[in-house]
Amino acid sequence: MVLQEISQALQSGDVNGVKQGVQQALNSNIEPRVVLYQGLLSAMETVGVKFKNNEVFVPEVLIAARAMNAGMELLKPKLAETGVEPIGSVVLGTVRGDLHDIGKNLVRMMLEGAGLSVFDLGVDVSAQQFVAAIQKHNPEIVGLSALLTTTMGEMKSVIEAIEAAGLRGKVKIMVGGAPVTSKFAQEIGADLYAKDAAEASFEAKKLVG
């Protein structure tokens, strides 16, 4: 069945296989939302579980995510026509002073794979930029990434700025990155800590779900 072929192709990072499968499914009048959930997202979830269990690693997740994005490009216009809504939204960024984005990008891909829409602010994002993005996009979750012990403290500044702007009650704050721990997350008043991209997407999905 074509949905299984899409799933297999996605899990092995086969961009052309995913594209062909998605196109074939659309040509056969399979509903775009079925292609999305049963073809792409369930396969990405499987990759996420394997990543969590150390059965696959960062490169495999990245190529699977690239294949998912290729399939999404074909699906997006059809989904827009049939009105499939994302399950929630996340404002995401690497905090000010920090230029590391490989992990953050992986988190974004897994969140998108879980059906959330992500407003990715990039790297070196100031507290005020996070606040402005929350005001603009009204997300359920704000995700902060930091890879340096010297920039972890900036997460606290972002949380304080969100509080000062009167937005703290409106968003849940998720933090992560190699030096970040759940103890640190608690100390700075974050709501969620995720140790990796798979956990970030599970937690986010649980929260909005």
Q: How far is the CB of 82 from ligand B1M (least distance, A)?
A: 30
- Smallest separation (angstroms) from ligand B1M to the CB of 145: 3
Residues 6+ apart with CB under 8 A from 81: 32
Structure tokens at 155: 């997460």
Question: At 176, which helix (H) or strand (E)?
Answer: strand 172-176
| Residue in 200, 201, 202, 205 binding ligand B1M, rule: CB under 6 A | 200
Within 176-195, the residues that bind ligand B1M by CB under 6 A are 176-179, 194
Residues 62-121 that bind ligand B1M (CB under 6 A): 97-104, 106-107
CB of 181 to ligand B1M, least distance (A): 11
Q: Which of 148, 165, 167, 207 binds ligand B1M (CB under 6 A)?
A: 148
Establish if 49 lies at the interface with ligand B1M (CB under 6 A): no
Query: Which stretch, 21-29, 68-76, 140-148, 161-169, contacts ligand B1M (CB under 6 A)?
Result: 140-148
Query: Is 196 a binder of ligand B1M (CB under 6 A)?
Result: yes
Is 100 or 168 the residue whose CB approaches ligand B1M more closely? 100
- Six token digits for residue 22: 């998605």
143 scored as a contact of ligand B1M (CB under 6 A): yes
**What does 141-164 look like in DSSP terms, one character per residue?**
EEEEE--SHHHHHHHHHHHHHHHH
Q: Is 80 exposed, middle or buried (0-12, 13-18, 19+ CB in 10 A)?
A: exposed
Structure-token pair, residue 83: 């009105």
Closest distance to ligand B1M from the beta carbon of 174 (Å): 4
Are 93 and 121 in contact, with CB atoms under 8 Å apart? Answer: yes
Distance CA 107, CA 94 (A): 11
> Token digits for 5?
């072929």
- Binding residues for ligand B1M, how many (CB under 6 A)? 28
Question: Would you say 114 and 204 are in contact if contact means Cβ atoms under 8 Å apart?
Answer: yes
Residues at the site binding ligand B1M, with contacts judged by CB under 6 A: 58, 97-104, 106-107, 143-145, 147-150, 174-179, 194, 196-197, 200
